[in-house]
């Protein structure tokens, strides 16, 4: 938080690779007015977490038009060289072999923290950020003939997409790395949620996750990323679906951060001052081009139907 605060006060643009939604929320609540006053643009989670989801969600909403008021976004990992990437079903082993020990430790720590979602807290009330623990629900995405479950997580889509699309009534974000193990893990997370209210239990769980076997092994090199977004109308009917593919989460994060830094330093750069999601900060067209430079591309719908 100290680095983000220093950047805001100095009027410097700031991007980071954090994947913790609660941290991004804190940056927004505490530093938005400071950054805006000094002409700084702060975009936390400017990597695999959560640029492709913001982009996919915005593209689906733009395609769906004014009737779209709900959006669901899912993050998945696939592999190259195993047939169609779009039809590849990730497994629990993939979530281990395609990630680092540090990533797994972060995921465990995040599961123990309070999260949030974006929806109406009660019927008839305006939509807003509402407190909600991670993995409270399971979303289902059907794409390219494959059914993919994903556990809900707090992402910056909850913060950024309602700013870019004020008509939104709900934003759902899910992590689908675990494949068929998603539902069992979600149930386990629900059962242990009361225990995680204890700071001692959370600290012990974080220490344990850092000692798991394979904590220092490098991820396999054939990992790929798939992000799916579905825009829905007021009755929950799908209006548009967008899918993005790209390199593995680590390569994507490095490439996006590099592009963001270069773009922000360009003499003709136009960024919105304050703390924003990537769509509001750069504009959709610019972000789409930047993502393409980082290897993140929209899937041709015809390929998904083959």
CB atoms within 10 A of CB 153: 28
What is the model's pLDDT at position 92? Answer: 84
How far is the C-alpha of 31 from the C-alpha of 22, rounded, in Å? 14
pLDDT higher than threshold 90 for residue 205: no
The two tokens of residue 83 are 């047939």
* pLDDT tens profile 129-182: 999 988 899 999 999 999 999 999 999 999 999 999 999 999 999 999 988 888
Q: Report the chain's mean pLDDT, rounded to a whole number.
A: 89
The two tokens of residue 161 are 């997409």
pLDDT higher than threshold 70 for residue 303: no
How far is the C-alpha of 185 from the C-alpha of 135, rounded, in Å? 9
pLDDT band at 289 (very low <50, low <70, confident <90, very high): very high
Give mean pLDDT, residues 195-205: 67
What is the model's pLDDT at position 16? Answer: 95
User: DSSP secondary structure string, 45-81?
Assistant: S-BTTBHHHHHHHHHHHHHH-TT--EEEEEEEEEETT
Instruction: Identify the structural domains of the chain with CATH numbers, from first to last.
Output: 2-305 (3.30.360.10)
What is the model's pLDDT at position 306? Answer: 53
Sort 55 into a burial class: Cβ within 10 Å, 0-12 / 13-18 / 19+.
Answer: buried
How far is the C-alpha of 237 from the C-alpha of 81, rounded, in Å? 35
The two tokens of residue 174 are 């899910």
Which of 94-103, 126-135, 175-184, 249-258 has the highest average model confidence (pLDDT)? 249-258
Give this prediction's pTM: 0.92
Percent of the chain whose predicted confidence (pLDDT) is above 90: 66
pLDDT band at 266 (very low <50, low <70, confident <90, very high): very high
How far is the C-alpha of 272 from the C-alpha of 166, rounded, in Å? 17
| Chain-centre distance for alpha carbon 127 | 20
DSSP-H helix ranges across the chain: 2-10, 21-38, 51-64, 92-97, 101-111, 157-164, 182-192, 199-209, 249-265, 278-282, 284-293, 301-305
What is the model's pLDDT at position 128? Answer: 94
Longest alpha-carbon distance in the chain = 53
pLDDT higher than threshold 80 for residue 203: no
Spatial strand order in the sheet of 274-275 = 14-15, 41-43, 274-275
């Amino acid at each position: 938080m100290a680095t983000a605060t220093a950047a805001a006060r100095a009027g410097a643009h700031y991007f980071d690779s954090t994947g913790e939604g609660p941290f991004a929320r804190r940056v927004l609540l505490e530093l938005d007015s400071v950054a805006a006053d000094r002409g700084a643009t702060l975009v936390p989670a400017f990597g695999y977490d959560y640029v492709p989801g913001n982009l996919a969600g915005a593209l689906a909403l733009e395609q769906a038009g004014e009737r779209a008021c709900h959006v669901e976004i899912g993050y998945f990992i696939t592999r190259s060289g195993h047939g169609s990437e779009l039809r590849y079903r990730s497994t629990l082993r993939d979530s281990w072999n395609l990630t680092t020990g540090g990533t797994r430790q972060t995921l465990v720590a995040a599961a123990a923290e309070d999260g949030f979602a974006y929806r109406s807290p009660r019927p008839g009330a305006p939509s807003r950020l509402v407190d909600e623990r991670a993995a409270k629900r399971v979303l289902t995405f059907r794409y390219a003939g494959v059914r993919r479950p994903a556990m809900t997580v707090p992402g910056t889509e909850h913060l950024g997409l309602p700013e870019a699309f004020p008509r939104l009534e709900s934003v759902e974000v899910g992590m689908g790395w675990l494949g068929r193990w998603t539902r069992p893990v979600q149930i386990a997370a629900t059962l242990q949620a009361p225990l995680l209210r204890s700071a001692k239990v959370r600290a012990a769980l974080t220490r344990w996750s850092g000692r798991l076997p394979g904590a220092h092994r490098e991820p396999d090199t054939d990992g790929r990323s798939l992000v799916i977004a579905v825009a829905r109308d007021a009755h929950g009917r799908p209006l548009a679906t967008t899918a993005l593919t790209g390199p593995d989460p680590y390569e994507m994060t490095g490439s996006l951060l590099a592009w963001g830094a270069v773009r922000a330093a360009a003499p003709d750069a136009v960024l919105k001052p304050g703390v924003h999601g990537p769509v509001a900060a750069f504009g959709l067209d610019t972000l789409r081009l930047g993502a393409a430079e980082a290897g993140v591309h929209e899937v041709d719908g015809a390929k998904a139907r083959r």
